[in-house]
């Protein structure tokens, strides 16, 4: 949530209770808690399955080596990507909340313009479409893990003709407008797959209670 507040540009103490941004942040918070609960579930499941190889119970040393590898993946290799996703997703959710206040505006897709930009994302650079255009339901950033693309609102300009837009192949789980849905982690993220609904409900129950 620290990453979310940083990306969103505010928290529950700085955003007015009756503001649209507050509702957006509530949805994001629920998504983050569910994601964290699903991650814990998947990690424990992987650790449990590592206790045995077939019918043989591993020795403590064998299990420890496997467990350390699993923990390194969950808490090392993937953790920074998830933190970056929380920041990027909340930044774009905050932007979308502002875009919704200007429904007649044009939005322009922007990349960082450096050598790290993915080739397929570069094809969308400067594509301009109306706020309510279906284009943003699929291509609103982030469009992948560690995606740094953004969108800006234009006071004037011309929209990109539909025929001139390269409809790129992005990961299916990111083919959605996370900002519009109030999410920072896609619904079809790997942690959610196979996670029992009761685990997600238990995670939601940990969300701090707030006075109206």
Query: Considering the entire predicted model, what is its pTM?
Result: 0.85
CA 135 to chain centre: 18
Residue 128 in domain: yes
* pLDDT tens track for 12-51: 999 888 887 888 899 999 999 999 999 999 999 999 999 9
- CA-CA-CA-CA dihedral for 94, 89, 113, 134, to nearest 10: -80
Number of domains in the chain: 1
Residue 210 lies in a domain: no
Domain residues for the domain of 122 are: 2-204
The candidate with the shortest Cα–Cα distance to 8, out of 97, 105, 117, is: 97
d(CA 166, CA 120): 9
Residue 74 lies in a domain: yes
């Amino acid at each position: 949530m620290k990453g979310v507040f940083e990306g969103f540009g505010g928290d529950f103490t700085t955003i007015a209770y009756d503001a649209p941004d507050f509702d957006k942040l509530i949805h994001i918070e629920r998504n983050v808690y569910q994601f964290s609960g699903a991650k814990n579930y998947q990690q424990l499941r992987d650790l449990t399955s590592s206790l045995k190889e077939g019918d043989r119970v591993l020795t403590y040393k064998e299990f420890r080596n496997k467990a350390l590898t699993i923990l390194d993946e969950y808490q090392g290799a993937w953790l920074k990507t998830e933190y970056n996703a929380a920041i990027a997703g909340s930044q774009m959710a905050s932007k979308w909340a502002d875009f919704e206040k200007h429904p007649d505006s044009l939005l322009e897709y922007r990349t960082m313009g450096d050598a790290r930009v993915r080739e397929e994302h570069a094809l969308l650079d400067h594509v301009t479409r109306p706020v309510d255009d279906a284009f943003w339901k699929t291509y609103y950033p982030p469009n992948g893990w560690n995606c740094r693309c953004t969108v800006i609102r234009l006071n004037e300009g011309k929209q990109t003709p539909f025929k001139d837009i390269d409809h790129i192949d992005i990961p299916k789980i990111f083919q959605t407008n996370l900002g519009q849905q109030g999410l920072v982690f896609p619904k079809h993220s790997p942690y959610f797959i196979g996670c029992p609904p009761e685990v997600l409900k238990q995670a939601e129950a940990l969300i701090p209670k707030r006075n109206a």
